[in-house]
Structure 1
Amino acid sequence: MRRWSLAGRLFLGQLAFILCVSGGIAWGLYQQAEENTYEETGERMLAVAGTVAASDTVRAAAGAFPDGQVSGDSALQDYAQEVMAGVGVDFVTIMDTDRTRLTHRNPEQIGKPYIGSVDQALAGESFTETYTGTLGPSVRAITPVRDDAGNVTALVAAGITVDRVGIARDARLPELFAIDAAALAVGALASYLLSRYLRRVTYGLGPAELAHMFTFYDSALHSVREGLLLHNNRGELVLYNDEAAALLGLPARGAGPEVPELPDLPGPLASLLRTGRDAHEEVHLTGERILVVNQSDAVSPGPHGRRFGIVTTLRDCTDVESLTGELASMRTLADALSAQAHEHANRVHTLVSLIELGRSEEALRFATADLEQSQHLNDEVLAGVEEPAVTALLMGKAAQARERGIDLEITVAAAGGRFSGGGVEPVELVTIIGNLLDNAFDAAAGLVTLSLGSADGALLIAVEDDGPGVDSDVLEHIFEQGFSTKQLPEGRTASGRGIGLALVRQAVNRLSGRIQVLPGHGACFRVDIPLPSTEAAPAGGRP
């Protein structure tokens, strides 16, 4: 069985409709042509009858009899014959007021009574009618003949048979049918062009296939675990799925306006969606989420595909970032062990060289001093920080600081003298402390101070360096994704820069905390994180 496309079905339906409409138009035109022909014929007969009634010949013949009775006269018959031949009517009958015919096309009918209505004419009014007389059905006009005093002295009837009226009507039909055929052709052509357009835009699919496709695509759209946004060429949001609504705070499907406006988004992400540029695996931050964004044009299939808009996919990597934070702490610890191994190798070489030179006392003092310094820092970190992930992070950062020639001072001012994290997720603490320390290492001239503590039911973290500090004109932008004051090495691009402090702010926002940039010689960042009520520590020292 042949499968009919939506365009084909619509074309057949429109063609049938156009045929019905054109048939109705043809019938209406035919009826109108017939009506107009009868009206025009009646008016023509009125003119002929009026002209004959006003002629001097007829009036003189009617006025020749004082009693108003007109007798048959061959002169009238000849006159009537001339009029019939001259104007092309079938009969001109002049009659007495008692219906007696004085003239007729058939001379044998002269003297016999006229067949038809005369009452209006006798009353002095001209009129038309369709009536069956001796010549058959005819369209006729009856007009009174008046004398100088205005009295009706005779009557004149002029008519043409219905057969001849039909011939006149039929003469108009080709023109009317030509108009109807032209309308039919124009309608069929317009329907064909519309069906071709629909076939092109629907790819020749039928209604059932389109319904199934919509159902499948809609189900797939809302079941995928990635957010999907569709914008048209004017930049308007036309479609999104449930995951995109959850990631960007849009109304759920079936709630709110048909095409809602995008909510306030961070600058880089808002700029990406507004400009519609291509993007591949770009990382963007929202209030509480880390999103990987891909964006490209929506183009129809084919070598000359038409651009319909922009497709944007959003992948939530917040959980992945949490695992990445744990992995980063492990890598930091591994880097610390690597740095310690490197430092240990240098010290061992130094000790071996001193021993080979016979300077054993200096070698002993060098080894003792190095051991005391390393042990002091390790003991300080282990004694002051209870959270293992933070401990590992600080051990690694201490090793990195030594490699870069930076003094890292760690102070703990918490209840009991130990920093436990107060129930805050270790991954969040690693993200905040690690990125703040990395930022401080890049800016420091030689000293970085980390203060950890708790007070008034809040966890306090402060990182300060002795670098140039933060200019006041960049304070409002320093936590924006992509913003950075660091100089790029030659040959490097800005991809991936300006994300550390943005991640810190995002983590602080997730914990309902606050981050501040405090005035000082260098840069000083302070983070206040409210503790759960069950974990709130008593007031202690303030870093």
Structure 2
Amino acid sequence: MSVAGQLLILQLVVFTVVAIVAGALIVVDERRDADEATRRTVTDIAVTAALFPEVAEGLVSPDPKSALQPRAEQIREATGVDFVVIVDPEGIRVTHPVPEQIGLPYTGHTDEARSGTPFTETYTGSLGPSIRTIAPVYDDGTLVGFVSVGVTRERIAENFVRSLPGILGLVAAGLGVTAAGGYLISRRLRRQTLGLNPDQLRRMYEHHDAVLHSIGEGLLVFGTADGSPRVDIVNDEARRLLGLEPVGAVEFDGLPATVRELAVADEARDEVHLTRDRVLVVNSDAVLWNRRRIGTVVTLRDHTELRGVLGELDSVRGFAESLRAQAHESANRLHTIITMVELGRTDEAVAFATQELAVSQHLIDRLTSAVHEPALSALLLGKIDEAAERGVELTVTDDTELGPVPIPARDIVTLVGNLIDNAIDASHASDDPWVEVTVRQENSSMIVEVADSGRGMSPEVLARAMQRGYSTKSEQRGLGLALVVQVVARHGGTLRTEPSLGSMIVAEIPVGGTS
């Protein structure tokens, strides 16, 4: 049976027991109230009748029965009690609803009434069990008799039975209302639990928990609380990727801004999100129930290592392209020189060969002497050839100079190489594409400036790119810039656009030394 069905049965049982107990208590209370009301009524009637002058006069008259019987019956019928009995000082009945009982001894107690105090008791007399009050009658201060007024238990029970339908109706109404409330609660619970029984819910939770902590992707589930998003689920991988505490609740405001934006976004597909140490590929989907949005599911995939490997592969591919271009160009020059020698023009052949060698050697000598890191020198030389092959003039400025810095060569290559690649791509937006690169040390910082002939990137776009990556090419996700941002952030640097040149990006990383 479903949880809702079990709850409904349990509620009905509890409500029925409560209703029965409450009804019984009401009956007991009503019976007690009826007895108390009867006591007050017979006391008031007995005390009032005892004060009537004609009662005292009748008791001292020669024929008390004839004088008082009609009056007693008149009082009984007017008040609705079962009996009004007047008794002489010796305890002999003077009046009685049953005439045969007149002249017989009174069957109740009169001792307390003889002391002048009305006395109420439950006693079984000639008419059966009754609640009765006996009050003394005085004539000029002398006790001349008693007035006893009572209502039988049978009459009290009849009156009580007449009130039972109302009590039972009230109990039934309460039971009906609680049953209806239980049904509504059960129906709501059935919707919330999808009609599952406890075993199914337990197994679902166990499977859900096992899957949640075993999947390799980061998973976040957002719900809503009073119209505001809240974090419902964060698995172990998501905590690791986002640098969250391994245990404990996760506050919505404690998540990165780009992840918070996804909690209210309709959909996201393979977006690049950057943290301080990671490149994350993010997907987001809205969760709908009966065409109403109830939350958002966000998945995170770690592409940090993959992008690092791809960056290195791009660098190697660039070197290979550069070598191929140089080999192709060297073959052309060599054929030219051989042909000139065969034509007997040896002096021109020597001049042509030494001129090309001098230009290339001058650039190599300048970079190797100015730049301490060999990998950076090789990268710059390779990018010059690659840019030339792609029709872009790439210039390494004369003030390029970089001594020993505490930054891994891999990070330097990633930083400079990706900035140059982006600049080469962007420079094709102009008719005369060019790129200018400067790498230098200044004020204890390593500064990399890359300018190009493209449209440039505004500070707002760069700020967005530092969170999500950016590319001027719609088919790409800006992963090169994402890797640049990570290198800069990892070493505590800054990345900005130069206000004077909209097409220049400047990366500045503290290196702890003085140039």
Determine which of 87, 99, 102 is the counterpart of 1:107: 99
Does residue 214 of structure 2 align to residue 230 of structure 1? no
Q: Kindly state the Cα deviation for residue 95 of structure 1 after the two structures are TM-superposed.
A: 0.4
1:320 partnered with 2:301: no
Maintained 8 Å contact 1:325/1:430: no
Q: Does 1:213 align with 2:194?
A: no
Cα distance in 2 for residues equivalent to 1:423 and 1:137: 110
Report the secondary structure of 1:159's partner residue: strand
Counterpart in 1 of 2:272? 283
Asked if residue 41 in structure 1 is aligned to residue 33 in structure 2, the reply is no
Aligned to 1:141: 133
Classify the secondary structure of the residue corresponding to 2:162. helix
1:440/1:463 contact within 8 Å kept: no
With over 3 angstroms needed to count, the CA separation of the structure-2 counterparts of 1:197 and 1:496, relative to structure 1, is same
Residues 262 and 268 of structure 2 are in contact (CA less than 8 Å); yes or no, is this contact kept in structure 1?
no
Partner of 1:191: 182
Q: 1:294 aligns with which of 272, 283, 286?
A: 283
Partner deviation per Cα, 1:402-427 (whole Å, 9 max, x = no partner): 23341432777566xxx8x867152x
CA contact (8 A) 2:108 2:125 kept: yes
- Give the C-alpha shift of residue 284 in structure 1: 1.0
- Alignment of 1:406 with 2:393, yes or no, is yes
More deviation, 17-26/220-229 = 220-229
Greater Cα offset, 508-517 or 165-174: 508-517
Q: CA deviation at 1:380?
A: 6.6
Q: Paired residue for 1:245?
A: 239
Contact 1:330 1:392 in 2 (8 A): no
Q: 1:32 to 1:171 in 2, by over 3 A?
A: same
Structure 1 regions of 5+ residues with no counterpart? 66-70, 532-538
Aligned position for 1:78:
70
1:432 and 2:403 are equivalent in the alignment: no
Aligned partners of 2:229 and 2:252 also within 8 Å? no
CA pair 150-306 structure 1, distance change in 2 beyond 3 A: farther
Change (3 A) 1:150 1:237: farther
Q: Determine if contact 2:273/2:467 at 8 Å carries over to the other structure.
A: yes
How many equivalent pairs are there?
500
User: CA contact under 8 A between 2:371 and 2:402: conserved in structure 1?
Assistant: no
Code of the aligned partner of 2:99 = P
Shift of 1:387: 7.0
Give the deviation of 1:500 after TM superposition. 4.6
* Structure 2 counterpart SS, 1:188: helix
Q: Could you say which residue in structure 2 is the equivalent of 1:153? A: 144
Of the three residues 19, 23, 35, the one matched with 1:22 is 19
1:176 partner SS: helix
Residue 236 of structure 1: CA displacement? 1.8
Pair 344,405 (structure 1): closer, same or farther in 2 beyond 3 Å: farther
Match of 1:32 in 2: 29
Q: Tell which deviates more after alignment, 383-392 or 131-140.
A: 383-392
Mean Cα deviation higher: 508-517 or 358-367: 358-367
Secondary structure of the equivalent of 2:107? coil
Amino acid across the alignment from 2:483: L
Determine helix, strand or coil for the equivalent of 1:73. Answer: helix
CA distance in 1, matches of 2:498, 2:466: 18
How far apart are 1:34 and its partner, in Å?
1.3
Change (3 A) 1:151 1:212: farther
- Secondary structure at the counterpart of residue 57 of structure 2: helix
Please state whether the residue corresponding to 1:102 is helix, strand or coil: coil
Shift of residue 280 of structure 1? 1.0
Mapped contact 2:274–2:466 kept (Cα < 8 A): no
SS of match in other structure, 1:299: strand
Note if contact 1:287-1:506 (Cα within 8 Å) is conserved in structure 2: yes
Among candidates 117, 132, 138, match of residue 125 of structure 1: 117
Question: Is 1:496 the equivalent of 2:477?
Answer: yes
Partners of 1:241 and 1:397 in 2: how far apart? 43
Picking from 181, 192, 201, the partner of 2:172 is 181
Residues 136, 281 of structure 1: alpha-carbon distance in 2 compared, 3 angstrom cutoff: same
CA shift for structure 1 position 138: 0.9
- Where 1:293 maps in the other structure, the secondary structure is strand
Separation in structure 2 between the aligned mates of residue 133 and residue 478 of structure 1, nearest angstrom: 102
Deviations 1:442-494 (A, max 9, x none): 469746234368x99x894533547699999769948734687x9x6xxx659
User: Quick one: which amino acid aligns to residue 79 of structure 1?
Assistant: R
Paired AA for residue 293 in structure 1:
V
Contact 2:491 2:509 in 1 (8 A): no
Q: Distance in 2 between the 1:309 and 1:449 partners?
A: 48
Q: Which residue of 2 aligns with 1:449?
A: 437
Name the TM-score, length of structure 2 as normaliser.
Answer: 0.81
CA change 1:388–1:469 in 2 (3 A) is: same
Residues 263, 78 of structure 1: alpha-carbon distance in 2 compared, 3 angstrom cutoff: closer
Q: 1:60 to 1:434 in 2, by over 3 A?
A: same
Report which stretch shifted further, 178-187 or 120-129. 120-129
CA RMSD, Structure 1 to Structure 2 (Å): 4.1
Supply the distance in 2 between the matched residues of 1:86 and 1:150 (Cα, whole angstroms). 28
Instruction: Say if 1:446 and 1:280 are closer, same or farther in 2 by CA, change over 3 A.
Output: closer
Q: Does the 8 Å CA contact 1:120/1:127 hold for their aligned counterparts?
A: yes
CA deviation vs aligned residue, 1:189-232 (integer Å, no higher than 9, x gap) = 11122112112211222223323322332232223232222222
